[in-house]
Structure 1
Amino acid sequence: MIVNITEDDRNATWRLGENEFEQTSEYKYLGMCMSSNGCGKAKAEKISQANQWVGRLGSVARMRASKYDVLREVWKSVAVPSIIIMYGMEVIAWNESEIEILEVGQNKVARMALNAPRYAATEGLRGDMGWSTFREGHSKATLRYKIRLERMEDTRLARKVYLWSECSSKWGSDAKKW
């Protein structure tokens, strides 16, 4: 996908070696929707999926005697990894408000599992459930991906793009801070 095109370049032909790039407004790769203005659609899908799981687990919690065990295990072992909340999170630029929405959903599940009141401290909820925050998960995943790119052969396209954009990108400077 070609992004950040000026009006003069709109009708240009773009090539990598012998391959010509197709110009498109949206592209789906490994289940992630990307467009010329970023991954907003993918982030919205992830937030929607998280909210759907919160609702589903609320229904499940009403029917279980041991809802703590059920909610804790289903959220962390099924909902978070397999519904693609965390899938690809390391390559998407998340802002604080978007991550906060995911945190709120996770806190709702913890409150349901613990029968905690609405104003219970979120740190206490996370501690009792044994969960980390999405911020921590995002930071760890980003660092793992950066290390993977650092160790990759220079001939790989992902490594070439990484080296080309590392100096000037916000992602690169954020990863260096971590």
Structure 2
Amino acid sequence: MLIFAFLVCDFILALKTKSGIYGQLPSYGERLNHYYSYFTTQTNYLVFVYFVFYLFQKKFKNTKPDFIIRLMVTVYITMTMLVFWLVLVVQGDIVTNMSVYEWISTFILHTIIPIVMILSYIVTAGDTFYKFETHHKTNYWLICLYPTLYLICILIRGYIRHSDHQPELKLLLVQC
């Protein structure tokens, strides 16, 4: 529930804020378009949906989601955390332009929620054994599907924005 409350607050503040990347966008539609186009946003909402699904499975079926679903969500949110902290933060200009709220939001989205998901995966994955060869042949392509589709969509979106001569958004990578 805390993840949901935070995501709702983050959504509202992203639409209402007058500073940062969203302050540069002229309409709520553009702000909404940008907010949901980030891999960070999508994977954090995916974690929330996963936990709702997990609670539903546990309460009504006394089971947990399939191992591959747990693994997929964990891989995606871990990618979010690692790319942000190991690639984007070292650029330096991202850090200097953040307000206090943006720092708190960034820390929750890129550290707290991923760690919660990783810990959940560690705690719930102990009863399943997967041979690497079997997993690689049957599920590896499925795990790679979403990031690949995201990459294709974001490249097309960038090309369309560039073709329409949209202004450059300097902080576009903040929530990537």
| TM-score category, normalised to shorter length | 0.3 to 0.5
Q: TM-score with structure 2 length normalisation?
A: 0.35
Bigger Cα Rg: 1
Counting strand residues as a fraction of each chain, which structure ranks higher?
1
